Amino acid sequence: MAHWRGDIEVASRIASLIVDNAVEHGTPYTDDRIILRMEVMDETRDLHIYADDADPHFHNLAEAGEGYAATESGLWWVTRLGGRVSWHVKQDNGTVLGKTVQVIVPTEGSRA
């Protein structure tokens, strides 16, 4: 994160919003945790922010994509801040562990 050239305040707000969303709509793991991960991608230099929880479903949404804009969710704000939302079921060797909500935050100057 220290080497990411984007807006740190925006990234921090987005991280907060997806964790809030996981707490409100997801299920914590058995240790009462929601997992937050961040990674700067080598090729694009975009920031990827991930929130993992134990619920494998994305309620009230059949498929989240880059155009996601539900007004009832903090994820609407994520898209307004320039993040691209997606999600997938989290598995380990075929065992469903929950889900990952991912937000891609472009570096400055790479916004499409």
In tens, the pLDDT along 56-101 reads 998 755 444 444 555 556 888 898 899 999 999 999 999 999 999 9
Judge contact between 53 and 29, C-beta under 8 A. yes
Q: Is the pTM of this model over 0.85?
A: no
DSSP string, 21-66: HHHHHS---TTS--EEEEEE-TTT--EEEEEEES----TT-S---T
Q: For the chain, what percent of residues have pLDDT higher than 70?
A: 81
pLDDT for position 109: 52
The sign of the dihedral angle between the CA atoms of 20, 22, 26, 31 is: negative
